[in-house]
Amino acid sequence: MVDLRVLSGDEVTDEPLGWPVRSHTLLGGGLVSDFVRDEVETPAGEVMRRDYLLHPGAVGIIALDDAERVVVVRQLRHPVGFRLVEPPAGLIDAGETSWVDAARRELAEEVELAASDWRILVDYMTSPGCLQETLRVYLARGLTPTGRPDGFVVEHEEADMEVCLVALDDLVDAIYAGRIQNPTMVVGALAAYAALRTGRVESLRPADAPWPARAVKEQRDARIHALGGETRPR
């Protein structure tokens, strides 16, 4: 066995860290994300270039009914050429600071449901090597029908979206069989399954618990935006 340091339980945590950014350049602007390049100074004094996408962040919801069925949507994802089985999810709006309120809004917009019991399943970074997106996945229970928020218009892919129920066990089987590929669906369903089967649901973080990654993002965005090179502040 390789002789490696064993982390204690308290040491198993992601650590905020940033090396000095010497320049920040907009390579291309998009509807949601800008493509940027940073020149970053390493501790050895070298300069490395890193290209990545800026992103406002998002929330996802594993909405579970009393029969342990998950509310899913079947939606076209043009970049990959698949109609994916996904949980209700969506972007965090500019200026939105209550993540659970964002999740409540998305649940109502996409599947016309409300929930009385909200808990945090997991926080994750979608693809941290090339994408700034942070995503929080909630477990929502106590489901009841509700209307879509005033002013919300169903359009584009969502106009052709199918809303379905899937037994949680069947969803987990489909994930292990390689039939489910949306990352929020995979992460959220497996986290919900583990929480339910190991008795962790009652000890899940409350819906309004802090989200440290968002604070780090705001600080980084402010420093990088000060260097210029973007079409709009983040």
Q: What is the sign of the dihedral through the CA atoms of 185, 190, 196 and 201? A: negative
- Angle of helix 183-197 versus helix 168-176 axis, rounded to 10: 120
In a domain, 172, yes or no: yes
Whether residue 97 is found in the same domain as residue 132:
yes
CB atoms closer than 10 angstroms to residue 51: 11
Whole-angstrom distance, CA of residue 233 vs CA of residue 226 = 9
In a domain, 178, yes or no: yes
The CATH number for 123's domain is 3.90.79.10
The number of distinct structural domains making up the chain is: 2
Whether residue 143 is found in the same domain as residue 198:
yes
pLDDT, tens digit only, all 234 positions of the chain: 689 999 999 999 999 999 999 999 999 999 899 999 999 999 999 999 999 999 999 999 999 999 999 999 999 999 999 999 999 999 998 888 899 999 999 999 999 999 999 999 999 999 999 999 999 999 999 999 998 887 777 777 777 889 999 999 999 999 999 999 999 999 999 999 999 999 999 999 999 999 999 999 999 888 888 887 554 444
- Residues known to be catalytic: 158
- Looking at residue 229, its pLDDT comes to 59
Amino acid at 10: D
- Looking at residue 233, its pLDDT comes to 41
**Cβ-contact 135, 123 below 8 angstroms:** yes
pTM, full prediction: 0.93
In terms of C-beta density within 10 A (0-12 exposed, 13-18 middle, 19 or more buried), how is residue 137 classed? buried
Tens digit of each residue's pLDDT (9 = 90 or more) over 210-230: 999 999 999 988 888 888 755
Whether residue 99 is found in the same domain as residue 204:
yes
Which residues face 64 on adjacent strands?
70
Whether residue 29 is found in the same domain as residue 95:
no
Whether residue 45 is found in the same domain as residue 64:
no
CB atoms closer than 10 angstroms to residue 161: 17
Whether residue 36 is found in the same domain as residue 124:
no
- Looking at residue 12, its pLDDT comes to 96
In a domain, 114, yes or no: yes
Q: Which domain holds residue 64?
A: 58-212
Whether residue 43 is found in the same domain as residue 104:
no
Whether residue 45 is found in the same domain as residue 91:
no
